[in-house]
Amino acid sequence: GVQAAATPQGSRYDSRMQQVSYNPYNTTVINTQVAFLSTLVFDDDETVIDARSGMAKGWDVQHDANRVYVMPVPVTQTEEVTDSEGQKTRTERVYEPVPQDWTTNLFVVTS
Protein backbone atom coordinates (compact mmCIF):
# COMPACT_ATOMS: atom_id res chain seq x y z
CA GLY A 1 0.00 0.00 0.00
CA VAL A 2 0.86 3.64 -0.26
CA GLN A 3 2.28 5.24 2.86
CA ALA A 4 1.43 8.77 3.92
CA ALA A 5 3.37 11.09 6.18
CA ALA A 6 1.51 12.11 9.32
CA THR A 7 2.45 15.46 10.83
CA PRO A 8 2.02 15.75 14.61
CA GLN A 9 -0.27 18.53 15.81
CA GLY A 10 0.77 20.91 18.58
CA SER A 11 -1.01 21.04 21.91
CA ARG A 12 -3.29 24.00 22.46
CA TYR A 13 -1.36 24.65 25.68
CA ASP A 14 2.17 24.38 24.27
CA SER A 15 2.82 24.00 20.53
CA ARG A 16 6.19 22.33 21.26
CA MET A 17 4.32 19.36 22.69
CA GLN A 18 2.98 17.49 19.68
CA GLN A 19 1.11 14.25 19.22
CA VAL A 20 -0.11 11.97 16.48
CA SER A 21 -2.37 8.93 16.60
CA TYR A 22 -0.61 5.75 15.59
CA ASN A 23 -1.44 4.25 12.21
CA PRO A 24 0.71 1.32 11.03
CA TYR A 25 0.33 2.45 7.40
CA ASN A 26 1.70 5.96 8.00
CA THR A 27 5.12 7.38 8.55
CA THR A 28 5.42 10.29 10.96
CA VAL A 29 7.35 13.49 10.36
CA ILE A 30 9.63 14.38 13.29
CA ASN A 31 11.28 17.78 13.29
CA THR A 32 14.37 18.36 15.40
CA GLN A 33 16.72 21.25 15.99
CA VAL A 34 20.42 21.57 16.77
CA ALA A 35 21.05 21.71 20.54
CA PHE A 36 17.54 20.46 21.34
CA LEU A 37 16.56 16.95 22.38
CA SER A 38 13.38 15.60 20.79
CA THR A 39 11.60 12.89 22.77
CA LEU A 40 9.20 10.38 21.26
CA VAL A 41 6.87 8.92 23.88
CA PHE A 42 5.01 5.71 23.10
CA ASP A 43 2.06 4.24 25.03
CA ASP A 44 2.72 3.26 28.64
CA ASP A 45 2.26 -0.43 27.80
CA GLU A 46 4.89 -0.34 25.02
CA THR A 47 8.62 -0.91 25.41
CA VAL A 48 11.09 0.35 22.83
CA ILE A 49 13.23 -2.60 21.76
CA ASP A 50 15.37 -0.82 19.17
CA ALA A 51 15.71 2.61 17.53
CA ARG A 52 18.09 3.42 14.66
CA SER A 53 18.64 6.25 12.25
CA GLY A 54 19.61 5.86 8.60
CA MET A 55 22.42 8.40 9.10
CA ALA A 56 23.94 6.96 12.27
CA LYS A 57 26.90 9.35 12.58
CA GLY A 58 24.72 12.46 12.25
CA TRP A 59 22.15 11.58 14.88
CA ASP A 60 22.28 10.71 18.55
CA VAL A 61 19.45 8.19 19.04
CA GLN A 62 18.89 6.55 22.41
CA HIS A 63 15.97 4.74 23.96
CA ASP A 64 14.73 3.88 27.42
CA ALA A 65 11.46 2.19 28.45
CA ASN A 66 8.76 3.71 26.20
CA ARG A 67 10.81 6.72 25.03
CA VAL A 68 13.17 7.48 22.15
CA TYR A 69 15.50 10.48 22.36
CA VAL A 70 16.68 12.04 19.08
CA MET A 71 19.15 14.87 18.49
CA PRO A 72 21.12 15.95 15.39
CA VAL A 73 24.89 16.02 15.99
CA PRO A 74 27.92 17.20 13.94
CA VAL A 75 29.88 14.65 11.92
CA THR A 76 33.70 14.69 12.02
CA GLN A 77 35.52 13.23 9.05
CA THR A 78 39.26 12.81 8.45
CA GLU A 79 40.31 13.97 4.99
CA GLU A 80 43.63 13.45 3.25
CA VAL A 81 44.77 16.38 1.10
CA THR A 82 47.70 16.37 -1.36
CA ASP A 83 49.37 19.75 -1.89
CA SER A 84 51.07 20.99 -5.08
CA GLU A 85 54.37 19.38 -3.99
CA GLY A 86 52.81 15.97 -3.50
CA GLN A 87 52.84 16.15 0.29
CA LYS A 88 49.86 14.52 1.96
CA THR A 89 48.30 15.93 5.07
CA ARG A 90 45.37 14.68 7.09
CA THR A 91 42.87 17.12 8.49
CA GLU A 92 39.70 16.77 10.50
CA ARG A 93 36.64 18.40 9.00
CA VAL A 94 33.49 19.01 11.01
CA TYR A 95 30.13 19.03 9.26
CA GLU A 96 27.48 20.83 11.27
CA PRO A 97 23.84 19.74 10.96
CA VAL A 98 22.07 21.79 8.28
CA PRO A 99 18.28 21.31 8.25
CA GLN A 100 17.88 20.84 4.48
CA ASP A 101 20.78 18.34 4.33
CA TRP A 102 20.32 16.50 7.63
CA THR A 103 17.19 14.51 6.88
CA THR A 104 17.11 10.80 7.56
CA ASN A 105 14.78 8.00 8.48
CA LEU A 106 14.29 6.61 11.97
CA PHE A 107 13.18 3.05 12.60
CA VAL A 108 11.69 2.22 15.98
CA VAL A 109 10.70 -1.27 17.13
CA THR A 110 8.36 -1.56 20.11
CA SER A 111 6.75 -4.45 21.94
Q: Where are the domains of the chain?
A: 31-110
What is the DSSP code string of 13-46? Answer: S-TTSEE----TTEEE-----TT--EEEE--TT-
At 59-72, the pLDDT tens digits run 999 999 999 999 99
Name the strand (E) or helix (H) holding 7: none
Q: What mean pLDDT, rounded, does the chain reach?
A: 91
Rounded CA-CA distance 58/99 in Å is: 12
79 — pLDDT class (breaks 50, 70, 90)? very high
3 — pLDDT class (breaks 50, 70, 90)? low
At 8-18, the pLDDT tens digits run 898 899 988 99
